[in-house]
Chains A and B, each alone.
With several copies, the nearest count.
Chain A
Amino acid sequence: MNYSIAKEPIIVQEVIDKVVQREAGAITTFIGTVRELTHGKKTLYLIYEAYESMAVKKLEQIGKEIKERWDGADVAITHRVGKLDITDIAVVIAVSTPHRADAYEANRYAIERIKEIVPIWKKEHWEDGQKWIGNQLETVAYPTGKPEESDLNE
Chain B
Amino acid sequence: MNKVLFFAHLKDAVGEEVIELDTNGKSVVEIKELMKEKYPALNLENVMAAINEEFASDEDILQAGDTIAFIPPVSGG
Binding site for B on A (CB under 8 A): 32, 48-51, 53-55, 57, 79, 90-91, 111, 114-123, 132-136, 141-142
In contact, B48 and A142 (Cβ under 8 angstroms)? yes
A interface, by DSSP: helix, strand, loop or mixed?
A: mixed
Stretch at the interface among B23-31, B33-41, B68-76: B68-76
- Bound form: Cα–Cα A117–B77 in Å: 11
Q: Assess the B72–A91 pair: CB atoms within 8 A.
A: no
Say what secondary structure dominates the interface of chain B: mixed
Are A51 and B71 in contact, CB atoms less than 8 angstroms apart? yes
Please tell me if the beta carbons of B8 and A121 are within 8 angstroms of each other in the complex: yes
Known contacts: A51-B69, A54-B53, A119-B50. The answer to whether A134 contacts B7 by CB under 8 A is no
Contacts of A122 in B (CB 8 A): 75-76
Q: B55 — which chain A residues lie within 8 A by C-beta? A: 117, 142
In the complex, are the beta carbons of A49 and B7 less than 8 A apart?
yes
Whether the Cβ atoms of A119 and B7 lie closer than 8 Å is: yes
Q: Which of B54, B74, B76 contacts A90 (CB 8 A)?
A: B76
**In the bound complex, how far is the Cα of B48 from the Cα of A118, in angstroms?**
12
Using known A-B contacts A135-B46, A142-B55, determine if residue A51 contacts B5 with beta carbons closer than 8 Å: yes
Cβ B8 vs Cβ A91 within 8 A: no
* 14 more CB-based (< 8 A) A-B contacts, given A114-B76, A134-B73: A53-B53, A90-B76, A90-B77, A114-B77, A118-B76, A118-B77, A119-B7, A119-B50, A120-B77, A121-B8, A134-B72, A136-B75, A141-B48, A141-B73
